Each structure stands twice: as structure tokens, then as C-alpha cells.
Structure 1
Amino acid sequence: MYRSRDIAVQLSERIKELSKKILAETGRDELNIMNFCGTHEWTITHYGLRSLMPPSVNLVAGPGCPVCITPGYYIDILIDASFERNTIVITYGDAFKLPGSRNKHPRSLFHAKANGGNVKVVYSFQDAVKEAVREPGKKHVFLAVGFETTMPATAIPLVSGKIPRNLYILSAYRLTPPIMRFLLEKHPEIRLDGIIAPGHVSAVIGANSWRFVAEEYGIPIVVSGFEPLDVVLSIYMILKSIEEGRPRLMNEYTRVVNPDGNTYALKAISEAYTVKDSYWRGIGSVPLSGAVHSPRYSNYDYLESMGFKETITDDKHPGCICDKVVLGLAKPTQCPLFMKACTPNNPYGPCMVSSEGTCRIWAENMPVLHGAVLK
């Protein structure tokens, strides 16, 4: 009986054969396959999957971290709010140390709390609801960070009428198909031969949401699971599609993802939120990539309730190349601050903050990286 490791090794040999054949036929030097999920990048890095690839197959980390691209302006607003009387700011732990756009103290909600700001870290939006119910005399502001995966967490309670009136939401939600289209159109210098689509996101929005990648751009794309064997198999499927000359959408993660997604969650999302052009930290404004509350639920929208207007600020910090890392234009090890002024314990740039940030993933897996990524 074969073990997963044996199958992965066999697939890696087939990947070497396929890539050699493809390169010989096309005259290319390398093939670039990008993942759009921080968890996929963690699997690739933690299990040393790059070491199974031939030098000609380049696994590129793409925009798979929602915390990394959250505008610093939002953090600035919440830092100020945490010092207001009778106001409590609530955040996930992943965004607790995310720096704002100001180059002054306090730079993050972590620093704000250390200086007396009223900030609480929760594991889920339901915890935020419980906090607001427990203290009805105080205003609670929840930082809603995430891609489509986490949107149902607020959308379903909103449309079900289960959110107390003293709880507000600052929606930092961003949508993944628009950033994929943006990258393919605005950054052709990143020549992609295949894409590994995010499994968690696809469980919500459905595999068919990625069909445009193959049909409009001629790039094979695979919705992948998160086990090492899932990822290696997905890479093989991409190369096989290239060899056959038939770029198409494939679903390796059929045990979780169906073609049309989670219709119950999608219905709640479409009722609770509307789509608009939105800013991605360090990247710029991406068409139809953000979610704001629909008019029916706008009284829960913190920015609208407080009269804040969307503002694009210079939230790049000197020396940090997180924007290039997010887009796959650079590796974390090319940043002069990586594991020097910027570490997991003391993150300077946003890519080192979240467990889904490429810099954080690489920093915490340096022994595995040696000799695999740094080739």
C-alpha cells in the first residue's frame, strides 16, 4: 500500500519529466506556477515542496494574505477609536500587530493596547457579538478582515438580525477573483503558466468562479486542497494541461469544493454587502474588489456611521518590499529588513504580521527553506 509520501515522490518525478518536455517544446527556461492562498504557501514551504520541484518549475507566492493588504488607514482609524471613551475595538489576532500608515507610535492595535487603548482580541465574530451583548453601554467596533472565506461570519448574523446595535463593523473584506484578474492584466511581467486557486475561498464562491482564468487568459488553473499531496497533484495537473495544449479549470479539491459554492453563504453575502472598487495596501485600487454594507445594513458600517471617507494613504514603510512580495515580484529573502529589523516577534512590514503572510511563513520555516527556495 502506497503512502502519501511515496505518491508525492512519484508525482515529482512525473513533474520533472513533463516540465523537461514542455520546456524543450516551447524553448522556455522556466515555468511559473502561482498560488493565491497563504495556507497553500505554508504547505509548500513547511513541507519543503519546492525541493521536490526541478529548478525549472518556480512556485510563486501570490496575494493570499488578506491581513497583508488591509489598508493602513483602517488601522489608524481604529487606533484612534481605541482611545475614545466607551469604545472597544475588536480584532482577530492575525491583525493585532498590523501597522497603520503613520510612522509614529502607536503603530498598531497591539501598541495602542499597550498604551491604554481599549482593544480586545477574539477568535471569531461570534465572540465579538458576545462582547457587545456583555457591555451594552459601550460602542464596539469589529475589524472585519478577510477574503470571501470569512465574509459569511458577519453576513449571516447581519441578515439574521442577530447583531446588537452597539456593535459596528469596519469592513476590510476583499474579493479574490478581481485581484487575480488585476494581476494578470496589470502585471504581465509576472509570466504565469499555471495558477493554484485558493481552496477555502473556493468552498464559498465555487470552482466555476475561476473559469475566466483559463477561458480568457489561456492559463490552466486548479482548485487545490491543502495537504502536501493535494498541492503536488495540482502542480502535476497544471503541467499536464500545458502539455496537452488545453488550458482549463480543474478541481482537485472535490471533497470540499463544488462548482457553484455555498449557495446559503453566497445569498447572505449578496444581501449584506455590495461590491465596489477598493484599495489594496501597497498595490493600489483594484476594480470591484471590496465589500461595503448594503444600504439596509449601513447603520452597522463603522466608516459610514462615523462619516469617514475612503482615503488612500502612503502606507508603505521605508525599506519594506511587502507590496512586491504580495504580487510575486520578489521573495522575502530579497528584502533588506527580512529577519533583521523585521521578525515574527517584532514585525515591521505587513507581510510578517499574519500567519498567512509570505514573510512570516518563510521566517518560521527557515530550516526547511535552506537549499530549496534559495536556489
Structure 2
Amino acid sequence: MKFIDEYRQSDLAWKLAKQIERLTDQPLKLMEVCGGHTHTIFKYGIEDLLPNNIEMIHGPGCPVCVIPLGRVDDAISIAQQPDVIFTTFGDAMRVPGSKTSLLDAKASGADVRMVYSPLDALKIARKNPEKHVVFLGLGFETTAPSTAMTVLQAAKDNVNNFSIFCNHITIIPALKAMLDSPDLKLDGFVGPGHVSTVIGTRCYDFVPRDYGKPIVVTGFEPLDILQSVFMIVKQITEGRAEVENQYARVVNRDGNKLALRALFEVFEPRDYFEWRGLGSIAHSGMRLRPKYAAFDAEMKFSVPGLRIADPKACQCGEILKGVKKPWECKVFGTACTPETPIGSCMVSSEGACAAYYNFGRLSKIAERSSANQTF
């Protein structure tokens, strides 16, 4: 298949891996920010191709994973209100709150529906004028423009029984939080691809300028990842720190101006927004501007709004910060599986725990068991 097969050629993958190995034997920690990259890395065994001196650290670029328990509880609270149809993307339905999930709420009688886009939710609102339809706005700048454009359409058509429970987040404040974290020493970044199609590459200039770290915006095929790692390591060995664009077939310097225009028209930054694992990060969340308050579910419904700690057994927070690997969590692959998730990282298709479980769990669990027996 054109534009796919070319990026999955095993002979080229081996050549790239050898070129990376020849560049340096210096220990390096590189973070892939996006959960989609994590899945590519494990699905295609890229970690096994890379030399032992290069360690891939998994970042917080999974929007379903970073939503805190309290916000899940707020969503469930809205869904359980009378005459509400609550709509959401499929993977968010199974994210555990403090006591239950949206899927459990649906089983208990709440009208929770899976949709493929916010426009689907708007269509449901038009067909059910006697109900109030709420869409769970979730994701980075990748998905936020589609939510924004849906709000603009709802305003234009006077669909007053439609609103957004907004949990959209932005990547740059999170990236800064990772760079400022004393727990994590990183040498470079495999930069997010999908987000960058919207925001462009210019906004990453602060990474090399202020922190002296290279970042390479990267596509999602195996050769994309390997080429990106090669580009990062080459920068390091040459004493450079720059923003480079490996994903030039999709991403440009200034992003998608139409999408950004819609995003800035509808949303404004929150003062603070809580991320699972990272805590509250200034200006990292979006909310609807006062002009569109009529479509803000938080203005229409009373929600608990509580901050709730993760279960003690769950180490999603440390995994999202890159401090721990999924297989180092004691409940990984045992009490916590995709069928019975304890943490959000095991739920989402972009979650690091789900990636490990689906593509590398047996070897890692064996390693952990062996280590435990040794001690």
C-alpha cells in the first residue's frame, strides 16, 4: 500500500539500526511523547533493534491516559443526570473513575453513547430536542479543532440542547513540565506527529533554545521512528540541539492555520488543569470562551469537581512521567489487564501499559518474576 509499505521495509530498518549503533555508545534516554509512537515501537519490535545504550522513555502523549480520576467522576455525574445523552469516544468509556466508569454507568441505565466525532453528537442533539446531549471533549490540539468547529456549527444552527464537557489539553505546557521535572533526565525527544499537523514545528523552538535538547517531529511507521532516533542521536554526537521535522510529508513549520483559527475562536486556556501523574500544569487545559458559554456543560451541570488520588496499586502516574516502565508496576498483567483495567494506561489504544501488554508483556513479566526470585 502506497505510503505505508515504503515505511515498513525490514532491510531498511536493519540498516538504520546499524547506523544508529555506529553513531555512539554513549547511554542516551530519548522520550517518545506520543502514545501512538509507543505502540509502533512495541508492535514492530523497534526497542529490540536499537542498541542497548539507547533507552526509549514513554511520555504523557495519551489524552485518555492523563485524564485524572476526578474528571472521570465529573463526566459520570453528568451522564447520570435526567434527560442527558452523554457521548464520547469509545476508549474513554472504559477509563476507571474512583468507583466506576462510563461503561458501568451505561450498564446501570445512563444513556451513554459512543461516537466517532463530535459532529455525531451534534446530530444526536438535533434528533433528540427533548434531551440534552453532552460530548466529552478529549484530546490534544489534534482533536480540539473538530470540537471547536462543532461548537461553531451548533451556535450557527441554534442547537441549544448540545454542550461540551471540555477536557482538551495542550502539548507544549506538558512538554515544559517534563523538561523541568527533577525526576527525569532526558537527552532528546521523538516529537509528536499528529499534534504537530495542527500546531506545526515552530512552537517547539524553546526545547533546543532553552533546554539544549534536540527534538524531531516524527511519523508513525517503523522507519519513521528509526529515522527519527538516528536524527536525534546524530544531533547529539555533533553537539547540536535543533528542531527537525522527519514527518515533513504531513507536518509543516506553521501548522494548520484553519484548524488553529477555529481552536482559538472557541477555546481559551484554563489557569490550571490537572494531569494524571503530572499534577496541575498552568495553561495546559482548554475551556470554552465566555462567548460560547451556552455550550459549556460545566456551566449547565453541577459536578463534584474533586481531586482524587489514584489507587495505591496503580502506578500510571509514574509511567506517564516516564519514571517507571509499565512492567515494573506490580499489578501489570495480573490484576490490571485490558479486560480489567485498574489504570487508564491499560485502557487506551495509545496507553503505554496496553502497548506492553499486547506486544511485549510475556518477556517483561518473566524478567520481573526472575528478578523477584533472585531477591
**TM-score using structure 2 length:** 0.92
Shift in Å, 1:188:
2.9
On the 8 A contact 1:279/1:312 being kept in 2, the answer is: no
Instruction: Choose which of 167, 174, 177 in structure 1 pairs with 2:162.
Output: 167
> Do 1:34 and 1:62's aligned partners in 2 also have CA atoms closer than 8 Å?
yes
Is the contact between residue 50 and residue 372 of structure 1 (CA under 8 Å) also seen in structure 2? no
CA distance in 2, matches of 1:176, 1:198: 9
Q: 1:355 aligns with which of 331, 336, 349?
A: 349
Match of 1:138 among 131, 134, 145: 131
Alignment of 1:276-315 (within 5 A): 276=270, 277-308=272-303, 311-315=305-309
Structure 1's 116 and 312: CA in aligned 2 closer, same or farther, altered over 3 A? Answer: closer
Deviation at residue 246 of structure 1 after TM alignment: 1.1
Residue of structure 1 equivalent to 2:113:
120
Specify which of 321, 326, 335 is matched with residue 320 of structure 2. Answer: 326
Q: CA deviation at 1:313?
A: 1.0
Alignment of structure 1 residues 243-282 onto 2, 5 Å:
243-276=237-270, 277-282=272-277
> 1:321 deviation in Å?
0.3
Tell me which of 50, 53, 64 is aligned to 2:50.
Answer: 53
Contact 1:32-1:192 at 8 Å conserved across structures: yes
Q: Are 1:109 and 2:114 an aligned pair? A: no
Q: 1:69 aligns with which of 56, 66, 69?
A: 66
Q: What is aligned with 2:203?
A: 209
In the alignment, residue 280 of structure 1 is paired with which amino acid?
Answer: W
> Per the alignment, in what secondary structure is the counterpart of residue 144 of structure 1?
strand
> Which of structure 1's runs of 4+ aligned residues deviate more than 4 A?
367-375
**Equivalent residue, structure 1, for 2:34:** 37
**C-alpha displacement of 1:74:** 2.3
SS at match of 1:137: coil
Alpha-carbon distance change, 154 to 216 in structure 1, aligned in 2, over 3 angstroms: same
Take 1:80 and 1:286, find their aligned partners in 2: how far apart are those partners?
24
Q: Specify the SS of the correspondent of 1:96.
A: helix
Which of these residues, 327, 330, 333, is aligned with residue 339 of structure 1?
333
The number of residues matched between the two structures is 360
Q: Deviations over 1:21-62 (max 9, x none)?
A: xx2xxxxxx200001101100000100000011111001111
Matches within 5 A, 1:91-102: 91-100=88-97, 102=98
Match of 1:365 in 2: 359
Contact 1:46 1:368 in 2 (8 A): no
Query: What is the CA distance between 1:372 and its match in structure 2?
Result: 12
Partner of 2:77 in structure 1?
80
- CA distance in 1 between counterparts of 2:367 and 2:208 reads 28
Residue 191 of structure 1: aligned partner: 185
CA distance in structure 1 between the aligned counterparts of 2:206 and 2:152, rounded to whole angstroms: 30
| 1:51–1:372 CA contact under 8 A, matched in 2 | no
Q: Deviations over 1:135-182 (max 9, x none)?
A: 110011111110110001111122342572111100001100110001
State the 1:370 CA deviation. 5.5
Q: Which residue of 2 aligns with 1:27?
A: none
Q: Structure 1: give runs of 5+ residues left out of the alignment.
A: 24-29
TM-superposed deviation, 1:298? 1.2
The question of whether the paired residues in 1 share the 8 Å contact of 2:193 and 2:220 is answered with yes
DSSP 3-state at the match of 1:15 = helix
Tell me, what secondary structure is at the counterpart of 1:68?
helix
1-structure distance, mates of 2:366, 2:216: 23
User: What SS does the aligned partner of 2:94 have?
Assistant: coil
Is contact 1:171-1:292 (8 Å) kept? yes
Q: 2:217–2:246: 8 Å Cα contact kept in structure 1?
A: yes
User: What is the alpha-carbon distance in structure 2 between the residues aligned to residue 367 and residue 337 of structure 1?
Assistant: 12
Q: 2:193 touches 2:219 (CA, 8 Å); kept in 1?
A: yes
In structure 2, relative to structure 1, the CA distance for the partners of 1:371 and 1:18 (3 Å cut) is farther
The code of the aligned residue for 1:228 comes to P
Paired position in structure 1 for 2:3? none
The separation in 2 between residues aligned to 1:265 and 1:14, in whole angstroms, is 38
Structure 2 CA distance for aligned equivalents of residues 369 and 357 of structure 1: 19
For 1:339 and 1:331, locate their aligned partners in 2 and report how far apart those are by CA, in whole Å: 13
For 1:230, the equivalent position in structure 2 comes to 224
- Residue type of the alignment partner of 2:40: T
Aligned: 1:176 with 2:171? yes
What is the Cα deviation at residue 6 of structure 1?
1.4
Distance 1:118 1:371 in 2: 39
State the distance in 2 between where 1:131 and 1:244 align: 56
User: Aligned partners of 1:288, 1:369: CA distance in 2, in Å?
Assistant: 40
Rounded to whole Å, the distance in 2 between the matches of 1:266 and 1:326 is: 27
User: Displacement, 1:350?
Assistant: 1.1
Aligned to 2:10: 5
How many Å separate the matches in 1 of 2:151 and 2:105?
29
The amino acid across from 2:9 in the alignment is S
Aligned equivalents of 2:12, 2:324: Cα separation in 1:
31
Counterpart residue type for residue 194 of structure 2? H
Given the superposition, is the C-alpha separation of residues 370 and 350 from structure 1 closer, same or farther in structure 2, using an over 3 Å criterion? closer
**Unaligned 5+ runs, structure 2:** 1-5
Matches within 5 A, 1:15-30: 15-20=20-25, 23=26, 30=27
* TM-score normalised by structure 1 residue count: 0.92
Give the deviation of 1:341 after TM superposition: 1.0
Q: How much identity, in percent, do the aligned residues show?
A: 40
Summarize the Cα distance change of 1:181–1:312 in structure 2 as closer, same or farther, 3 Å threshold.
farther
